[in-house]
Chain A
Amino acid sequence: GQQVMQIPQYQHVQEGEDFTTYCNSSTTLSNIQWYKQRPGGHPVFLIQLVKSGEVKKQKRLTFQFGEAKKNSSLHITATQTTDVGTYFCAGPFPHASGGSYIPTFGRGTSLIVHP
């Protein structure tokens, strides 16, 4: 089953409104990364969170890692049309056969910003 759940799947906002996407893991993660993929483009690394309860900011973007290290969120303040894209979270999950961890991505949240 899906090990990393991201909600919502889509989000329409008016330019200037805030946006939040949530990432929930079925297991405790050692770290979590966030990526952005523009339409027709490829994923671009945004940030990595490692510590329990960690909060990091990048201009209008705020990233948070939950206390239990099983959930994370990305919040964008006052969205702009340049924020359009799909935002993915990713973390290392134990391989089914055991012994290793494989990078596992959520399905992403597609942000549509209306001018």
Chain B
Amino acid sequence: KAGVTQTPRYLIKTRGQQVTLSCSPISGHRSVSWYQQTPGQGLQFLFEYFSETQRNKGNFPGRFSGRQFSNSRSEMNVSTLELGDSALYLCASSPRTSGNNEQFFGPGTRLTVL
């Protein structure tokens, strides 16, 4: 099976702009989670989508949003970018079978906000 793919891999934006990142999960996985990774805060959970519904949400402002399509592909959007949004954004898919919390991470999108 192909792994989790994320596009784009690198992105440079300026403050105030908005950005959309895309994630294609492993075939058959219905759960997609998004994380932000920074040297200062580590790996932080943004949200999880399952069957097109947001199942869970972390402690991020409303500028961070996401959605999931019927084919399980997911996008996350960050509006009104701030310098502090510079980070590696990771997407992870999971089969979400009972008791199995294994997550398969994609390579990430490196976002730089200038």
User: Restricting to A10-61, which residues have a CB under 8 Å from any CB of B?
Assistant: 31, 33, 35, 41-45, 48, 50
- Complex Cα gap A48–B99 (Å): 10
Beta-carbon contact of B103 and A45 below 8 Å: yes
Beta-carbon contact of B59 and A96 below 8 Å: yes
Interface size band for A: 20 to 34
In the complex, which residues of chain B have a beta carbon less than 8 angstroms from the beta carbon of A95? 56-58
In the complex, which residues of chain A have a beta carbon less than 8 angstroms from the beta carbon of B58? 95, 102
DSSP majority for the B interface? strand
Beta-carbon contact of B105 and A102 below 8 Å: no
In the complex, which residues of chain B have a beta carbon less than 8 angstroms from the beta carbon of A43? 43, 90, 92, 103, 105
- Complex Cα gap A44–B99 (Å): 18
Looking at the complex, which one of A35, A42, A92, A103 makes contact with B106 (CB distance below 8 Å)? A42
Given known A102-B58, A103-B33, A103-B45, contact A42–B100 (CB-CB < 8 A): no
User: Restricting to B33-70, which residues have a CB under 8 Å from any CB of A?
Assistant: 33, 35, 42-45, 56-59
Beta-carbon contact of B101 and A108 below 8 Å: no
Beta-carbon contact of B33 and A107 below 8 Å: no
Q: How many residues of B contact A (CB 8 A)?
A: 22
Distance in angstroms from A93 CB to nearest chain B CB is: 9
In the complex, which residues of chain B have a beta carbon less than 8 angstroms from the beta carbon of A41? 107
**Does B108 sit within 8 A of A, measured CB to CB?**
yes
Looking at the complex, which one of A33, A44, A96 makes contact with B101 (CB distance below 8 Å)? A33
- Complex Cα gap A3–B29 (Å): 29
Given known A42-B106, A42-B107, A43-B90, contact A102–B101 (CB-CB < 8 A): no
Given known A31-B101, A50-B99, A92-B101, contact A42–B90 (CB-CB < 8 A): yes
Q: Beta-carbon contacts of B81-108 to A below 8 Å, as 1s and 0s? A: 0000000001010000001111111111
Looking at the complex, which one of B42, B44, B56, B102 makes contact with A108 (CB distance below 8 Å)? B42
Nearest 6 pairs of A and B residues by beta carbon: A105-B43, A42-B105, A107-B42, A43-B105, A45-B102, A102-B45
The residues of A with any CB-CB pair to B shorter than 8 Å are 31, 33, 35, 41-45, 48, 50, 88, 90, 92, 95-96, 100-108
